Structure 1
């Protein structure tokens, strides 16, 4: 298919602002169709779920649509899709549920490559339960995960391995399936943070070997919330704290309180919008999603190559920390002798949004040896253009001069 980014952009009212958005890793812009779905659900007759009144049926349809969309997006059964306020909230909730079966002397494994949302919940749960925490490392010179550290971290006492499928800071995509196979060989479960990954790679949770996979629709054109995917039979084994009258049916047992039906409808609309980019109505929705991700990935990687070519022209004035062979279209920069926060503000005056900071990636930020000023992150999205690339490179050249 031909990727028509100009046509795609017409669906995003916010892009009329003229801002060149490189803040996609923190959250993308939203197409009109998603906003319309949220508004239509919220203003139609709406009640708690049921089957008697139309308002009850509307709520029930929103939930069913969300689970079906999540299943097509991630490759798991619809009753393996759990809604959460955020990926962070889901990770905290499940860390407490999983920790009920942990015993002193057991071990959990976390990664220096990860966003803190896939580190601190496990470290804190391990501390409360008296577990040992072991670490997977990465090489700051290459951005690659150190496989020897995986082998050293895994033991017969390992209960869970938490690892990212793609670093939100430097884009590295570690070998998740290889890690999962090694973890399963010692009887451990595998929790995969797919928040950054799912924005740029077609997610197939079973193929990754993930027992649990979390992502955030607002990273791929949807509303602000979190989604967890897991095999329903695995979810059946977990018993979270919940209200006595609330259902114990999977996956609802993990969704505490009344669901935000309008938000669920927004997620479904985002998945449908993404599936529509591929354009072939004869395919299933999952097949169309696969085609869309192939097209957007090619578009984003081409633009990443243009940025990298432009950054090389700056010589030693710019250090690029995104160096892994397998990585997303996300680049972390430092500017020796200059503050990236100043570059962020300078670019903003030119209508270019490229934030600076550590982006909650506390462990990789420290491992890279960066100071408290942060790094400048350039992240691409499906609606990014060659003009955006020209503008950010021109802005950086002006700032550095």
Structure 2
């Protein structure tokens, strides 16, 4: 199997504008098929879910197809897939629901590697009931978060551990199965994994990961702006979120507030189908095709990173903060004498989209010594080409001569 990036790029109308996009960690561009699925659902006759009218059945199908697609993407159970407005929104909902089972003196463990969406909801939920948040640090030089860094904070009082599967700021991918084993062997805690950045680059297997909850955002893997959390249905049955009296008490519906966005669910299904087709394999299940496609995406992105990173690191004054052995194709850097936001502006003037900041990973940015300003972030995506990389390097060389 080969990866034809030119053929992939032909599906993305946004790329015709001419910019080189390195902003995927903040949200990828979407293929034409996703936009068409969203528009088709919005402009079709549709109603609240049901089985009587065609409009009702169309809504029912949009939900069922989306849960099925996310099931294949994450190797989950469709009854355990919760759909929501965003990963942040869903994490707050789960934090409030889980905190109902906590008491003063209980503990929750969060990390300084994480996006704040997997930190602040847990810290605030703990504070509200008198539980104690514990922060696990990572090595700021290597960028590594070791299982032992989590284990040092586990105790009989630990009720939940929240950790990222991949840092959205520096790309570090901690060993989630090893962390899960420690968490479950040394405590009765649940493990909530922020898989938003990881799911954009690697195939996910929820049972194999050992995570109790896996959160992700379709707009990071070519889909529309929304979020999802996957867990075992039996675990969801034990949780009782606040809900309206007439709304369903079944799982996963008890966690989905209000009418679902059928058009976004259709777009999510289309994005996952698009990913499954990238390997050009038409045999096997959609799950099989997704695993094959992610293997090709991973190889493509690694080749681009190998083309980019040595030259970037060799540029005068460049400091790279993405140094973990295992990481996504995401590189955070600064250049001596340059404000990162000004560098972003200079790149944008050359049609290079590489944003700057802490990207809500504020604990991570501060721990790296970058404060809240962060750095410039380069993110590779399935549609990134060698030409994009070469344009970025040429632009940086030109800027450094100013």
Normalised to the residue count of structure 2, the TM-score between the two structures is 0.98
Is this contact kept in 2: 1:161–1:183, CA < 8 A?
yes
- What's the CA shift for 1:400? 1.3
Is this contact kept in 2: 1:341–1:374, CA < 8 A?
no
Q: Distance in 2 between matches of 1:371 and 1:268?
A: 38
Q: Distance in 2 between matches of 1:166 and 1:106?
A: 27
- What's the CA shift for 1:337? 1.7
Q: Provide the residue aligned with 1:341 in structure 2.
A: 341
Could you report, residue by residue, the CA deviation over 1:336-393 in whole angstroms, capped at 9, with x for unpaired residues?
1211111100011111000010100010000000144330000000000000000110
Gaps spanning 5+ residues in structure 1: where? none
Is this contact kept in 2: 1:110–1:134, CA < 8 A?
yes
Could you report, residue by residue, the CA deviation over 1:307-331 in whole angstroms, capped at 9, with x for unpaired residues?
112113314x100100000000000
- What's the CA shift for 1:146? 4.2
Q: Distance in 2 between matches of 1:391 and 1:272?
A: 31
Q: Distance in 2 between matches of 1:279 and 1:192?
A: 30
How many residues are aligned here? 400
Q: Distance in 2 between matches of 1:322 and 1:373?
A: 16
Q: Provide the residue aligned with 2:352 in structure 1.
A: 352
Q: Provide the residue aligned with 2:158 in structure 1.
A: 158
Could you report, residue by residue, the CA deviation over 1:55-75 in whole angstroms, capped at 9, with x for unpaired residues?
000000000001100100001
Residue 305 to residue 132, structure 1, CA distance change in 2 (3 Å): same
Is this contact kept in 1: 2:362–2:372, CA < 8 A?
no
Pair 1:392 & 2:392 matched: yes
Map 1:37-52 → 2, pairs under 5 A: 37-52=37-52
Q: Distance in 2 between matches of 1:52 and 1:159?
A: 44
Is this contact kept in 2: 1:12–1:31, CA < 8 A?
yes
Q: Give the CA RMSD over aligned residues.
A: 0.8
Gaps spanning 5+ residues in structure 2: where? none
Q: Distance in 1 between matches of 2:176 and 2:147?
A: 11
Q: Provide the residue aligned with 2:300 in structure 1.
A: 299
Q: Provide the residue aligned with 2:237 in structure 1.
A: 236
Is this contact kept in 2: 1:136–1:146, CA < 8 A?
no
Q: Distance in 2 between matches of 1:154 and 1:117?
A: 21
Is this contact kept in 1: 2:163–2:194, CA < 8 A?
yes
Q: Distance in 2 between matches of 1:374 and 1:94?
A: 29
Q: Provide the residue aligned with 1:132 in structure 2.
A: 132
Secondary structure of the residue that 2:152 maps to in structure 1? helix
Q: Distance in 1 between matches of 2:382 and 2:87?
A: 22
Q: Provide the residue aligned with 2:71 in structure 1.
A: 71
Q: Where do 4+ consecutive residues of structure 1 move more than 6 Å? A: none
Pair 1:117 & 2:98 matched: no
Q: Distance in 2 between matches of 1:272 and 1:64?
A: 14
Pair 1:290 & 2:291 matched: yes
Q: Distance in 2 between matches of 1:63 and 1:395?
A: 45
Is this contact kept in 1: 2:107–2:157, CA < 8 A?
yes
Is this contact kept in 1: 2:147–2:178, CA < 8 A?
no
Q: Provide the residue aligned with 1:27 in structure 2.
A: 27
